[in-house]
Amino acid sequence: MVFASLSFIFLLLPLFLAVDFFVRRAKSEISRNTGLLFASLIFYTWGEAANVFLLLVLGIVNYAAGNYLSKSKNPRSWVAVFVAVNLAVLVGFKYAYWLTSFILPTLASKKASMPLGISFFTFHAISYLIDVYRRQVAPAKNTFDFLTYFCMFPHLVAGPIVRYAQVKDDLSARGPNKELFTFGMYRFLLGLNKKVIIANSVAIMADSAFSLSALGNLHFFDAWLGITAYAIQIYFDFSGYSDMAIGLAAMAGFHFAENFRRPYSSTSIREFWRRWHISLSSWLRDYLYIPLGGSGGGTAYRNLLIVFSLCGLWHGADITFILWGLWHGLFLVFERLPAGRMLERVPVVLSRSYTLIVVLVGWVFFRAENISLARAYLKNMFTVSSAPSVLTYHVMACVALAVGFVLCLLPDRFFPAPTSHKAESFPASAYGLQTLFAVLSIALLLTGGRNPFIYFDF
């Protein structure tokens, strides 16, 4: 189920708020956690009924594993075993068909079915086990606390990747907080509007461009406009979903960290990854890059390429995702070389243009269904042809693209600092404006238009 759907907004969200209000009166965090767990299982069962048992089994197994690690005299060996079990489940569901297709090519055209959100809740489990092993966090006090964290529906199927250490205090003590609830409503409305009004509107332009490219009939101008539309789509799609997740968590009394900080305003790829999908990039840094040796010992370049190859593979079982990760990894290596450090001395407009071009080219690999289509699209982007422009421009898509482009590229000073979950961080007029836009969003959903969510595929 997508947060930006009528069934969630008018059915599950009211149910969740009603259950949370009722159990909050019991003044028991176990009761409130149980209520949230109940709502989360309904949310997951709605679209993944067959896999809810896998989710619960993995939750119970990892809870038991965390307790065992905290008492084990040989935790290093056991943490490797428990992490391997989680990775085996992920590989089995997400990558087995792709790996097998190299032996049996007839499988290559078949899309594997996998549990919704498995990439995210696997990373949740691994971070929990490693943090317990490192003695950075004590294991969950009881099964309900851990299952509430593990199955919590705001972050369950598409992130952000939330570490147990970030929410353990909220799990044990989160009383009624009107300010936090108000903040949560605002962030949910903001995310809904970003997703429906901007991301959904520009999706048709991006889809048309890639379809025409596959037919060999795409103009140079259309190619750049199409990949720009996709860049706007994926950002407002995923950051909008993260906003809704942060908002829903706040309504339930949790403080989720920010997951995006306007990444297209970055002046380097290094900065881009400090602003894009922050929970993933920080996870890869803490649980993969640093254990590999980080930037020390002369292995920084190798480690970056390994990490970003795996980052690409995490997003999808296809060579195009690996190439997307390697593309970013190569530019991160370049920026650490003397020539790359010159970016710090060039005018901001040049460094931002460089970053945008690198990111846009990378999105071609991310969006294309295979290497051949990616190669064809890149050829259209960098070959000026005399073919006529045939891309259809819808008014709503053009307006959404222009608004999204401006919002992405305006300097940070035009936007408030991160809210820190405080209602007074945004004026009442902003709340009213998002409410009005939410009416438009719901009206657009009622028309039955396309409402895709890109990261559900990963």
148 and 207: one domain?
no
The CA distances from residue 145 to 56, 116, 162, 170, in Å, are 13, 22, 14, 10
* Catalytic residue check, 394: no
Average pLDDT for 286-313: 90
Question: Which of 176, 206, 239 is where one domain is finished?
Answer: 176
Q: How many domains is the chain partitioned into structurally?
A: 2
Answer yes or no: is 38 within a domain: yes
186 & 122 share domain: no
In a domain, 1, yes or no: no
- Classify residue 290: in a domain, yes or no: yes
Last residue of a domain, one of 125, 151, 176: 176
Residues 189 and 169 placed together within one structural domain of the fold: no
pLDDT attached to residue 132: 96
Residues 289 and 143 both lie in one domain: no
* Same domain as 287, residue 168: no
What pLDDT score does 417 carry? 63
Q: How confident is the model at residue 59 (pLDDT cuts 50, 70, 90)?
A: very high
How far apart CA 194 and CA 369 sit, in angstroms, is 25
Q: Do 166 and 241 share a structural domain?
A: no
Does any domain span residue 380?
A: yes
Same domain, yes or no, for 269 and 384?
Answer: yes
Q: Is residue 317 part of a domain?
A: yes
Question: Mean pLDDT, to the nearest integer, of 196-208?
Answer: 93
pLDDT bin (cut points 50, 70, 90) of residue 395 is confident
99 confidence band (pLDDT: 50, 70, 90): confident
Half-sphere exposure of 292 (CA within 13 A, CB side): 20
The whole model's pTM is what? Answer: 0.93
Domain boundary at 136, 159, 176, which?
176
Answer yes or no: do 145 and 232 share one domain.
no
The answer on pLDDT for 35 being more than 80 is: yes
Q: Determine the structural domain holding residue 389 and report its residue range.
A: 181-457
CB of 453 within 8 A of CB of 241?
yes
- Read off the pLDDT of residues 269-292 as tens digits, 9 standing for 90 and up: 999 999 999 999 999 999 999 999
Query: Which range (176-185, 343-352, 449-458) has the least confidence?
Result: 449-458
Among residues 124, 155, 315, 421, the one annotated as catalytic is 315
My answer on whether 273 and 406 are in the same domain is yes
Confidence at 457, pLDDT banded by 50, 70, 90: low
Q: Is 135 left (phi over 0), alpha (psi -120 to 50) or beta?
A: left
pLDDT at 416 over 70: no
User: What residue has token string 């895709």?
Assistant: 452
Checking if the pLDDT of 109 tops 60, the result is no
90: in domain: yes
Q: Residue 420 domain-assigned?
A: yes
- The tens digit of pLDDT for each residue in 162-173 reads 999 999 988 888
Same domain, 433 and 302: yes
Residue 300: the pLDDT is 86
Residues of the chain above pLDDT 90, percent: 57
Residues 160 and 272 placed together within one structural domain of the fold: no
What integer pLDDT is reported at residue 141 of this predicted model? Answer: 87
Q: Is the pLDDT of residue 27 over 70?
A: no
Residues 6+ apart with CB under 8 A from 15: 39, 42
Q: What is the 3-state secondary structure (H, E, C) of the chain?
A: CCCCCHHHHHHHHHHHHHHHHHHHCCCCHHHHHHHHHHHHHHHHHHHHHHHHHHHHHHHHHHHHHHHHHHHCCCHHHHHHHHHHHHHHHHHHHHCHHHHHHCCCHHHCCCCCCCCCCHHHHHHHHHHHHHHHHCCCCCCCCCHHHHHHHHHCHHHHCCCCCCCHHHHHHHHHCCCCCHHHHHHHHHHHHHHHHHHHHHHHHHHHHHHHHHHHHHCCCCCHHHHHHHHHHHHHHHHHHHHHHHHHHHHHHHHCCCCCCCCCCCHHHCCCHHHHHHHCCHHHHHHHHHHHHHHHCCCCCCCHHHHHHHHHHHHHHHHCCCHHHHHHHHHHHHHHHHCCCCCHHHHHHCCHHHHHHHHHHHHHHHHHHHHCCCHHHHHHHHHHHCCCCCCCCCCCCCHHHHHHHHHHHHHHHCCHHHCCCCCCCCHHHCCHHHHHHHHHHHHHHHHHHHCCCCCCCHHHHC
pLDDT of 359:
98
Q: Is the model's pLDDT at 248 over the cut of 90?
A: yes
Residues 171 and 191 in one domain: no
